[in-house]
Amino acid sequence: MTIVPVLLCGGSGTRLWPLSRKSYPKQFVPLMGDETLFQAAAQRLTGQAGRVVFDAPLVLTNSDFRFIVTEQLQAVGIDPGAILIEPEGRNTAPAILAAALHAAAHDPEAVLLVAPSDHVVPDTEAFHAAVARGLKAVEVGQLVTFGITPTHAETAYGYLELAECPDHTGAPVALKRFVEKPDEARAQEMLAAGNFKWNAGIFLFKAADMIAAFNQHAPTLLDPVRSALTAARPDLGFLRLDPDAWARAEDISIDYAVMEKATNLSVVPFDAAWSDLGGWDAVWRESGPDADGIVTSGAATALDCKNTLLRSESETLQVVGIGLENIMAIAMPDAVLIADMSCAQSVKKAVTALKEKGAAQATQFPKDHRPWGWFESLVVGGRFQVKRILVHPGAALSLQSHVHRSEHWIVVAGTARVTIEDKVKLVTENESVYIPVGSKHRLENPGKVPMVLIEVQTGAYVGEDDIVRYDDVYARG
């Protein structure tokens, strides 16, 4: 049976700050190895395994991430199906309904597997086997969710109470009820009971059955989401949902809108490893601590430490821990988090506090990713700024000008094609060019390797909003 994978990737992941931020959240970051969580999720939902045959993935994301999605899929050799752009985050219920309606327009009997794009599931074969078991329930009109067998009394997850303890075959079991995140004592009780599973937020269903469930349990969502799809407009291979209609959709999760009310729910038990990496303590566990409980990543060194996570995200920033116990320290070029491991779920409070102070580090990633590549600020002064800019092979920045600043470009790797007004020239490594204030200009990489340059801006104002665009291959406003 062919399954349409639906990848949800619009979250911000504040509990993994400072590595995960609103402008570049955890699903797009290589947290566990060289691949990002999004890439790993997409690869997990491709190919064929027994009864399970995956179609091209359907992706729901927001406008800021649309080019990151295509770039990361291309990097692992995956051709996406439709990529739906949500004008604003309205939680999982409208997103899943949009996916169901989109799939049903082509085939009402289409089977969808909805999964967050920021989970870790090391055993792909076991996951495919669980999906295959769930298909039996889907064929008789059930909405299927997946319950993770708890390994400890976790208080950060919601739970699923099964009508009975599952047998050794892992066959689908009727769901009795959803359970909110418990306190420590209740979590211990549920762990001992044997018929409680962690709620993974992964769903398998026929498009027609999910639409029927919305019609019965959340009918007010149907009109705005259907209208948002009907009035959606294509944009460079993406499908932008209509913002006015989408804004009328209630901001609500699929659990609250449908799943907690539906009577045709089945749970497939999943006994293999799984994590939503919902905090740095989860990253520590999934990274395989050594005999002393130590996990280091990047330029990090631990001396006489126990149960400690040390992580440096900069090659030039050495993180050294001495005599630490139950500590997590994550260093970025512009921010450092140091906390007791027991406070992992409180990291989002730091993000809130930084927002209140107006600190850019609360939401902005040090590297600003664009469809053509990325840039990072190296030095910012009163009337100047120094950036490092990387442009992908064949990519081009918009034709633009600036009202308040001039720019000096020094190429340090590759070759740049530079347009200044009506003149075009190639600038190679160790050469530079000057762009006067107000001049129309464009930067391109005509080569087959990434092009890197240092940009020195000078002027009364060097903010990113001092850009007048005249032409842009990425159709940005």
Evaluate whether 442 touches 398 at the Cβ level (below 8 Å).
Answer: yes
- What is the predicted pLDDT for the residue at 235? 87
pLDDT at 416: 97
How many Å apart are CA 121 and CA 276, to the nearest integer? 9
Q: Please give the pLDDT value at position 10.
A: 79
Residues linked to residue 310 through DSSP beta bridges, in sequence order: 296, 329
The strand pair at 265-270 and 143-148 is best described as: parallel
- Does an H or E element contain 213, and which? helix 207-217
SS3 for 59? strand
Return per-residue pLDDT of the chain as tens, 477 residues.
Answer: 899 999 999 777 789 999 999 999 999 999 988 899 999 999 999 988 777 899 999 999 999 899 999 999 999 999 988 999 999 999 999 999 999 999 999 998 999 999 999 999 999 999 999 999 999 999 999 999 999 999 999 888 999 999 998 888 889 999 999 999 999 999 999 999 999 999 999 999 999 999 999 999 999 999 999 999 999 999 888 999 999 999 999 999 999 999 999 999 999 999 999 998 989 999 999 999 999 999 999 999 999 999 999 999 998 999 999 999 999 999 999 999 999 999 999 999 999 999 999 999 999 999 999 999 999 999 999 899 999 999 999 999 999 999 999 999 999 999 999 999 999 999 999 999 999 999 999 999 999 999 999 999 999 999 989 999 999 988 876
Give one DSSP letter per residue of 156-170, joined into a string: SS-EEEESS---TT-
- Coil, helix or strand at residue 361: helix
Burial of 352 (0-12, 13-18, 19+ CB in 10 A): exposed
**How is the chain split into domains, by residue range?**
2-270, 280-356, 367-471
- C-alpha 245/C-alpha 434 separation (Å) is 46
What pLDDT is stored for residue 302 in this prediction?
Answer: 98
Helix (H, G, I), strand (E, B) or coil at 211: helix
Q: Domain 2-270, what fold?
A: Spore Coat Polysaccharide Biosynthesis Protein SpsA; Chain A (3.90.550)
| Predicted local confidence at residue 477, as pLDDT | 60
Residue (of 266, 202, 228, 204) closest to 94 by Cα position: 228
pTM of the model: 0.90
Residue 236 confidence (pLDDT): 85
Q: Report whether 359 contacts 413 (CB < 8 A).
A: no
DSSP 61-119: EEGGGHHHHHHHHHHTT---S-EEEESS---HHHHHHHHHHHHHTT-TT-EEEEEESS-
Structure tokens at 386: 């120094």
Q: How high is the pLDDT of residue 393?
A: 97
Question: 208 CB contacts (<8 Å, ≥6 apart)?
Answer: 104, 108, 109
367-471 CATH pick, 3.40.50.920, 1.25.40.10, 2.60.120.10, 2.40.10.10? 2.60.120.10
Residue 382's SS3 state is coil
Backbone angles phi, psi at 440, to 5 degrees: -70, 130
Rg (CA), the chain: 24
